[in-house]
Amino acid sequence: MSTNSKIRVVAAMSGGVDSSVTAALLKRQGYDVVGVTLQLYPGTVQKKGACCAGQDIYDAKRVAETLGIPHYVLDYESRFKKAVIEDFAATYARGETPIPCVRCNQKVKFADLLDTARELGAGAMATGHYVRRVEGPNGAELHAAADSARDQSYFLFATTQAQLEYLRFPLGEMEKSEVRAIAAELGLITAAKPDSQDICFVPEGRYTGIVEKLRPDAARPGEIVDTAGTVLGRHDGIVHFTVGQRKGLGLSGKEEPLFVLKLDAARARVVVGPRAALASSAALLKEINWLAPQTAPFNCAVKVRSMRPPVAARVTPLADGGARVELAAPEDAIAPGQACVFYSASDSVGHGRVLGGGWIAKAEPAQIAAE
C-alpha cells in the first residue's frame, strides 16, 4: 500500500475539468482524497460557463462517483455573499473596478474552505489552478504556471505564506490539452466541458443589476466631463463605466475618440479624455500581501491587469503597508480596484516567482510621474 494512502487531501471540486483532473491525479498517486464542492449562490442561478452553479455541483458529484472518492457539498452562500458579492458592489460604488475571483480565493476558498479541510483531518488542500508551488529555501513559493497562456498566479497574489504551505496545485506544470486528455481517458463527465467564463454569480453577464440592487448610489445619474470639468454629456450611473472604456459614452461626433480616465464617485462624474491621457507611469497600492517580504526598493516585473504580460518596474514598500510602483514604460488604463502583482525580475516572461502584490489605489498620469 502506498504511503500516500495515509495522507488525506481535500480536493476543491468546482464541477469543471480542471478540478476534476486534480482530484483524479491525487487519487492516482494514492492519496486519501475527499472531494468538496461549495454552493456559493442559490441553485436557481444557472449561468452557462459559470462555476459552482447547480449543474456544476451535480457534475462534481458524478466525477467523485467515477473516481470512487467521498464528496461533500458545503453551503457557503452567506459568507460568499458578504465577502465577495457585497464587496463587488461596494467596489463599483467607489468608482473602482473589482476582481471578485481574487476576493473569492482570498476570503472563501483559501480561508473558510481551507479551515474546513483541516477540520476533515486533511494534510493538504488541492485546487485546479494553473500555478506552481515550489519548495524554496525559506518555505513554499508561488510561481507562475509552466503554460503562460493558462497562468492564474495574478488571481492568487493574496494567498498568504501559511495558506501556501498547505495548498497544492497539481496542474501547474501541465497544459490544458493534457488535462482534457486525462479526463477523457478516465471517462469523466467534465472532459469536454467548456471553461468557466466571466463572473460566476452574474446571470447573463448583467453585473449592473446586482450592483444597483446592493448599492443604489452606484446608479445615480451624473455628468460626463473632460479633464477641465467641462460638461460633455450625462450618464445613468458610474456602475456602467470603467477606466479605459470607450464605447457606451454617448459622445459620438467629437473630433477625437474619448476614453474614461477616472470615475468620481462622490460627485457621480465620469471624467473622459484622449487615449494619450490614459497612460500612467506610476501607481500607489494598498493592502500589500508579501510572499517574499521586502523593506527596501527593488526591481521586478509587474502585472497591472490579468491579461497583460509582466513589465519592468521598481517597487518601493511604504510604511503604511502599501507600495509605490514606478513603471519602466507607461501603461494604459491602470484602474483602481484592480491588482498589481510583483514577479521576480529574473524571469519576466511569465514563469517567475510571485513576490507579492496589492490593490491599485491610484494611478499617476505619465506626465505627472515623470516630473
200 catalytic? Reply is: yes
Hunting for cell 498547505 — which residue is that?
166
Cell (9 digits) for 177: 490539452
- How far apart CA 133 and CA 264 sit, in angstroms, is 40
Q: Would you mind telling me the total number of residues written for the chain in this entry?
A: 371
**The one catalytic residue among 52, 200, 300, 340:** 200
Closest CA to 99 of 365, 358, 362: 358
- How far apart CA 65 and CA 43 sit, in angstroms, is 21
**Which residues of the chain form beta strands (DSSP E)?**
8-12, 32-39, 71-75, 124-126, 131-136, 139-144, 167-168, 222-225, 231-235, 259-264, 269-273, 279-290, 298-303, 311-317, 323-332, 339-343, 354-365
Cell (9 digits) for 79: 459568507
- How far apart CA 258 and CA 252 sit, in angstroms, is 9
- How far apart CA 227 and CA 330 sit, in angstroms, is 19
Residue 78 phi, psi dihedral angles, 5° rounding: -65, -45
- How far apart CA 368 and CA 283 sit, in angstroms, is 11
101 catalytic? Reply is: no
CB proximity list for 208: less than 8 A, separation 6 or greater: 219, 237, 239, 240
Alpha helices in 110-195 (DSSP H): 113-119, 161-166, 176-185
Specify burial of residue 33 (Cβ count, 10 A radius: 0-12, 13-18, 19+).
Answer: buried
**The one catalytic residue among 51, 52, 104, 340:** 104
Q: Which positions are catalytic?
A: 104, 200
